[in-house]
Amino acid sequence: MLVLVTGGSGSGKSAFAENIAVSFGGERTYIAAMKVTDDESRRRVERHREMRADKGFVSVERYTDIKNLDACGTVILECMSNLLANEMFLPEGAQAKGPNAADEVIFGVESLNKKCDNVIVVTNEIFSDGIEYDEETRRYMRALGRVNRRAAEMADAVYEVVCGLGQRIKEVNHADI
Amino acid sequence: MIFVFGGAYSGKGEYVKSKLGVSEITPYDAPYEELKKAKAVRDFHLFVRDKMSKGLDAVKETEKFLEDDPDVIIISNEVGCGVVPVSAEEREYREAVGRIHCRLAEKADRVIRIVCGIGNVIK
């Protein structure tokens, strides 16, 4: 089962995704893709660690190359937008080595989906502020848009989280005209 | 008329082609004679921006276009979910797009919101 969880920043999508993972039962792994580089990211990571402290996750920090990660049971990937940024902009990322960063993320999700019983992927809605960004940022947005669409296509269920409430936008209410 | 909207890069065009069976989507800045005959028009938010930058009334221009092409599929970006811009011009633009989207939704037989390539009929 592959579940994609999207939403704006601070929408409660992580807590929502964690609760889905807990509901599946069994062994749970949390793949943390955010690299701590400063105080702000450290605080963010700590907040997330506290949030899931009682939910029985084994945490794995993994910033790139998800496709070669050994995993099983139920996993959360938190989050795909960070992972993509890592693959695009970190020196050890896919882009620095040649392959397309978006493809690398997609392969990573596909590979998790094959190896694990349940995969919950958290991503980010960053596309509706109407700002025309510089080319570098647009390139990232384009890539994330593609990764999101592909993940949603593969997913058995897609939720959009608003104010902590998950709306199932696939398959229920799916506009399959 | 069908109104399809969503964030940038959310897969609106792909959706219109695959689910609504439109083979060709006309850009908003095509010659007006072509636009009038379009089955679907993309980047309608930029149509609004373009009219405003020329000092035209974007609402009237939109109404006129809908009269000329009443069965069109309009594809537009959601642009209102960010911080209110500092520049007055940007504020006006986003406000205008939002209001025009409301009008389009009101007139449309069907309104489809796209997230991650998935369409939800909200009207």
Residues 6+ apart with CB under 8 A from A76: A17, A18, A21, A28, A29, A30, A31, A57, A120, A121, A122
Other beta carbons less than 10 A from residue A62's beta carbon: 18
Q: Once rounded to an integer, what is the mean pLDDT over residues A59-74?
A: 95
Probe site for chain A from B9, B17, B84, B112 (most A CB atoms < 10 A): B9
Q: Helices A135-154 & A101-115, crossing angle to 10 degrees?
A: 20
Q: What is the pTM of this model?
A: 0.88
Name the residue among B11, B45, B112 with its Cβ closest to that of A149.
Answer: B11
Residue A173 has a pLDDT of 41
CATH superfamily to which B2-121 belongs: P-loop containing nucleotide triphosphate hydrolases (3.40.50.300)
Mean pLDDT of A75-85: 96
Residues of A in contact with B94 (CB under 8 A): 130
Residue where the block lists tokens 């909207």: B5
Flag whether pLDDT at A176 surpasses 50: no
User: Is the pLDDT at A172 greater than 60, yes or no?
Assistant: no
Strand, helix or coil for residue A103: helix
| Cα A115–Cα A109–Cα A60 angle in degrees, nearest 5 | 75
SS3 A57: strand
Whether residue A144 is predicted with pLDDT greater than 80 in this model: the reply is yes
Please write down the HEC assignment for all residues of B41-106.
EECHHHHHHHHHHCCCCHHHHHHHHHHHCCCCEEEEECCCCCCCCCCHHHHHHHHHHHHHHHHHHH
Contact: B9, A153; criterion CB under 8 Å: no
- Is the Cβ of A4 closer than 8 Å to some Cβ of chain B? yes
Which residue, among B85, B78, B83, B86, has the nearest Cα to B104 in the 3D structure? B78
Contact across the interface for B8 and A128, Cβ inside 8 Å: yes
Residue labelled with tokens 């139920």: A74
What is the model's pLDDT at position A140?
Answer: 95
Give the C-alpha separation, A9 to B54, whole Å.
36
User: Which residue ranges form the domains of chain A, and what is each CATH number?
Assistant: 2-170 (3.40.50.300)
φ, ψ for residue A65 (rounded to 5)? 55, 50
**Is it the case that residue A154 has pLDDT exceeding 80?**
yes
pLDDT tens track, chain B, 123 positions: 999 999 999 999 999 999 999 999 999 999 999 999 999 999 999 999 999 999 999 999 999 999 999 999 999 999 998 888 889 999 999 999 999 999 999 999 999 999 999 999 999
- Could you give the CA distance from residue B103 to residue B94 in angstroms, rounded to a whole number? 14
The shortest CB-CB distance from A145 to any of B10, B80, B112 is to B10
The mean predicted confidence, pLDDT, of chain A is 91
Phi and psi at residue B53, to the nearest 5°: -70, -20
Residue A47, classified by CB atoms within 10 Å of its CB into exposed (0-12), middle (13-18) or buried (19+), is: exposed
Read off the pLDDT band of A97 (50, 70, 90): confident
- Taking one residue from A and the other from B, the number of pairs with CB-CB distance under 8 angstroms is 90
Structure tokens at A128: 């509706």
Pick left, alpha or beta for residue A10 (phi over 0 → left; psi -120 to 50 → alpha; otherwise beta).
Answer: left
The proportion of chain A whose per-residue pLDDT surpasses 70, expressed as a percent, equals 97
Q: Nearest by CB to B118, which of A144, A146, A152?
A: A152
